[in-house]
Structures are given as C-alpha cells and as structure tokens.
Structure 1
Amino acid sequence: MLYTSIKFRNVELKNRWVMSPMCMYSCEEGLANDFHFVHYGSRSQGGTGLLIIEATGVEPRGRITNHCMGIWNDAQARELQKIVEFVHKRSDSKIGIQLAHAGRKGSTWNNIQISVEEGWETVAPSPIPYHPTERIPHVLNIDEIKDIVQYFKEAAKRAIKAGFDVIEIHAAHGYLVHQFLSPLSNIRTDEYGGSFENRIRFLLEIVDSVNKELDENVALFVRISGTEYAENGWNLENSVELARILKTHGVDLVDVSSGGNIHGVKIPVFDGYQVPLSSKIRNEVNIKTGTVGLITKIEQAEEILQKGEADLILVAREILRNPYIAIQGALNEKENCFFPSQYDRAKISS
C-alpha cells in the first residue's frame, strides 16, 4: 500500500510517504532562502508523495522564533513559490504548507523565552504562560481573535497563489489553536471558552475561512494533538469528536500527533507511539488520517497501512537522515516510484 496512490479532492499523491513539517529555524524576516530550496527540493527528488513545508507564521507574532518561516506578506510567498515550482517541475511530489500561530509558545530561542525587546509580546486565549517562569501572555479579545482568523485566510490565499497543493492548519503541539482547544490553557468564559463547542470554535472559524479560499485543486488537512497526556486536559475522546466535526466542515485529512501543550508531562515514547491515536480516529470517524512519530522502517510503515491505522505515513527525523527513503523502499520492494532521470544509472547496482 505504501506505493499506491491516494486522492484528496483533485490532489493525487503517488504514494503514501509524507515529509512531516519540521521547523528549520533558518529564516530572516520569515523569508525562505537557498537552504530551504535545497532542503525541500532534495526530498522531492527522493520520491516522497507529499512534502509539507514547516510551520509558517500567519503573522509575525505567530512564529515560534525570530528565524521561523512566515507567509504574512507577498515577498515571503514569492520565495516559497520558487520551491513549489521546482517541486512541481522536477518531481512527482505534491507540496503543502502548514499554516501556524505559536500563541503563548512564541518569542523563544532554544526553547527559552526571549525578551519582548528581542522578540514580541505573546498572545493566548487566557493569562496562562506555557512555563511558570515565562511572562503572562496577552489575552486575545474577540476582535483580535477575528483578526487572527483573517490572517489564516489571507495566508491561505497567498499559499494558493504560490501553487501549494495542500494547506494544513496547525492545531497541535501547544500552539495557539491547541491552546484554545484545551481546558487547561483556555479558561475563558465567553463564546471561545468553557464548553467543548466553544473551545473548538476558533479552529472551526479558521477551517471555514480557509476553505472559502480553496477549490477542488487544493486539499485541506488539520494537524491535532490526539492527546496532551494531562489529567482533565485534551484527550483522545475529544479528538475523535473534533475529527467528526471537522469532517462535516470539509477537512480532507486529520494529521494526528500528540502532546506539546502542558509543560513537564510524561509522554510514553516508543516506535510508532502515536499510531493508536490515528487508528482510533480513522476507524471511529471514517475520516482519512496521517500518523507520525518514530516511524523509521519501510516494513513498519507498510504494516500501519495494511492494518488500516492510517492513510498517510508522515516521516520526520528519518527523512532528515535519509531523504531517499521512499526510493529505497520502492527499489527493495520492486515498486514504482519517482526516480530522477539523472540518477537512472543507480537504479541497478553493478
């Protein structure tokens, strides 16, 4: 199944391998540069079905660090378009972008919050910092929440113009959307807090606003944390219910990760540790899912698909170590996969 195609709207992926979005902390003023061109271009030459560009801020305060990617202006979108055009012209890969807002986890470097003078005032649904030693974030009012929804919509519009095939909304890992979802980081008493329905409102407004910019040629994914591993926090049952609602709002795939919102929680980490989260959501909701987390072997990835635990295999650290994992798997299994014509002599070892 790894080398079977799959469609989301009119977007057809040639195989089930996906490069997971991973921050590279290598931008100036949010602009992609030569490093990003080589980084993403090389993975497209490795036969990966879909590449997803790293978490990309929809406004300057939406970045995690001063060196994170941005798409809040047209200059940033033009630099990203160069990467998109190379991937489309020189490979069979599709390419997506993860639109993000860091919220209270922004203005950091090396996981340490930097000063307002060096960075910026962070924002959040409630006056609760991620770490007790960090400054209290600015609490977003209703108008400011609406502004951020609009920033996501405008970012999606730029991404579509740049030629991206997939838009992914980042609602995981303790960043702003996740902060609204969790009752541990969202203690609001207005229409964006309290009940489950109120806490998911911000995400649904973003999904609906972004979807208005899309047509059948651009698919919509949402990354969530299936659980945050904290008592009385966001859990797998919440994620199942959210996925059921996202399906009715035109989301094509739920990209299932975990954790990131509550400092100091213990996460049970093992090979494929997040696969059960994806499996439960996929099979209870009947929605397509992607799974990620310590998936390092071709046989492991194939087994996940065969068992119906996910539809896409997102690979992170392993694809940094080996940009050609998809090609290598295809050669080993005698499957068809994009192979650069310039490298044809390497298809058969002598």
Structure 2
Amino acid sequence: MSGMVTQARPPRRGGSSVRIGALVPLTRPGWVEAGQHVLAGLELAVRDVNADGGIAGRPLELVVRDTAADPRKAAAAVDELARLGVAALAGEYHSVVARAAAARADALGLPFLCSSAVLDALTEQPTEWVARLAPAQSHGWRIYADFLLGAGHRRIAVAAEPSVYWASGTRILRDHLAPRGGTVIELDMRALAPAAVCDELVAHRATALLLLVGHPEPAVPIVTSVRRDQRLAEIMVGAPAGQPEFTEWAASLGQDGAAIPFLRYLPQRLGPLGARVEAALRERLAAAPSFVAFEGYDTGVVLAEVLRAQGTDPAAGRAVPSRAGIAASWPRVAVEGTRGRIRFSRTPGISVWQWAWPPVQVVDRDPAEPDRFRILHTG
C-alpha cells in the first residue's frame, strides 16, 4: 500500500464501481470536526486504492451518509445503503450511534468495519458481521486510569452526562481504580451548573476532574469555571474521550484548553506509510490530522484488502464481492496500516472482531505551545 501513489494503475474505464457506505457525523449535534477527519481519511484511502488499480480493475467509491450523532438516523442510513447495494459499511465516530448501526448491519448481514467508536458492547450478541479498528473503551480507559494512579491521583471526580458511553466509562474507571486505592466521585451534570461543579470538587477534596461530557457544551464552561477558581489551582482536568484532540477545542478554550490529558490512538513515531498519509491528510484538511483521520484511512486500507481478496467476477454474476465472503475474511486480515499491522481476533468481553490493539497514548496540549502535544503515558 505504501507505494500506491507512485505506482499508479488507474481502474479500467467503464467498470461499475465497488461501493462502500460511509457513516460519519457531519452536522450538529454530531461532532462535525471528528466526522470530517474520519471522512478525510476514508477519502484519501479510496483515492490511493483507485490509483493502485481499484478492486480488480473497478473503482472503489464511497457513498456517504451523515449520521448527525442520531442512532435512528444511522439505522435508517444502514437500511438505505444496503438497498443501494454497498459491499460493506465503514466509519462512525460516536459510540452510541455506531452501536445502532452495528445492530442493523448485523440484522441485515451487511459487513461493517467500525473506525472510531470504542464502546465495548458494540452489539448485544457476538456477531461475525462487524469488526472494529478503535480499541475497546475498557482497554483504553484502563490505561488512562493507570496514568491517573501514576500521577498520584486517588480522589477523582467525573462530571458526567447521562449516556451509555459515559456510564460505561465511569464503571471502567471505578472498577480499575477502586482495588488500587482510588475513589471515583460522580457529579451529575443534569443537576449542576459549572460554578457548582467547582464547589463539589472542593467539598470532595478531588485532585482530578474528568470531563465525561459533550463539547462545546458543557465542557467549555466547566473548564473555564475550574481554571478561574483559585481554590482549584492544583486540580488536574482530564478528558479521556479525546475532546482536546481537535482544533475546535483549542479555538474555544485557548490557553485554558492546554494541560488536559486525553487518550489518543497513535504510535510514538509514524512509519513510512503513516508519515506519507500524515502529510497528505494535513494538505486535505488544511490542519494537523487527528488520530481519527488515521482511523479513517486504515479503515479504507483494510476494506480494500478484503475486497481485493474476494474479487469480482461479472461473468459469474458477481459484480461486487460477496458480503458473506467479506465478513468471513475478518479473521484472515493482515494489513499494514498507518499505525501498525492490523489483524482482527476474538477478544474476551468484546462482541465484534477486534484489532487488539492499536497503540494507545495519554497526551495533552503543551501549555507553552498549545498546538504541540506532549506524550505523558503509553499503554
């Protein structure tokens, strides 16, 4: 794959395309910047695949649908894309939305390679149809909990909104921290204004506050209130879900958005393929690509490899690869991605085929240079 652009072999003219359905949040209340990064990675991968001959001479094509962080909209999009004849589904950033898409894809027998959603229970029952690139929440958030312990934090408050994803994250943190002397204090953001959060942190003698909330509301006003409260000058603010990764965070908070550790799924150093893709993504996005953009690219790389292995045979009445054949290929995948070699396996407690594991870092924005990230911990 790393030589695609220089060894270009355009797909044959006149061949019908092999289509992949792309699910991404592109409008509010979805996290639009995250959706744009997933899509940029997918689009770049498709461009590279087509420059290298496509799928058995047929061009690879994305059919994009906006999920807008709405599980019902995502499920409807899966139905539509299945009717349109896509070979597989790709993408999605929001875990609760990806769960709805995965359930529908499983019911329809439509392969789905989830790019970025981390919720452990992506489907209620084990399925052969769904695979995932992002690490499961239990894996990444335990690494984050180890970072907290290593930094000396034992009284940890979580400002949480109601959702399956945030509740799961709170449970993972508590289960990992409690046997190691840590305490998790839950602050219900349905009942507390940002200023009241500060009072609760003081009352509970918390040394760390984790933002298990949406961006920009209420994350930005919470951070602003805490940073302005002299009583909390020593408290660490963290965001394990990765909100500070995106430029929108830095634009909203400026200096206040620095020194807030979050999870990022990148290696310490990119290899040749990763470096080439990083440069191309930077040009495409006109900004530094987030780890989410690399997840999008790797999704396209994996699906192209699986589709090529399945092949197409119009003479045999198979103009597109078999959906069942694609799903059966997950355990045989061995693809060099931007962040390491990608293989899928059955992982205890995870209901889908899982890359175990992508690289995991805890990083923050450097207060001296907020556009630069500091690696604080690796897992």
Same-fold status (TM-score > 0.5): no
Greater helix share, structure number: 2
The TM-score with structure 2 as length reference comes to 0.27
**TM-score between both structures, scaled by the size of structure 1:** 0.29
Larger Cα Rg: Structure 1 or Structure 2? 2
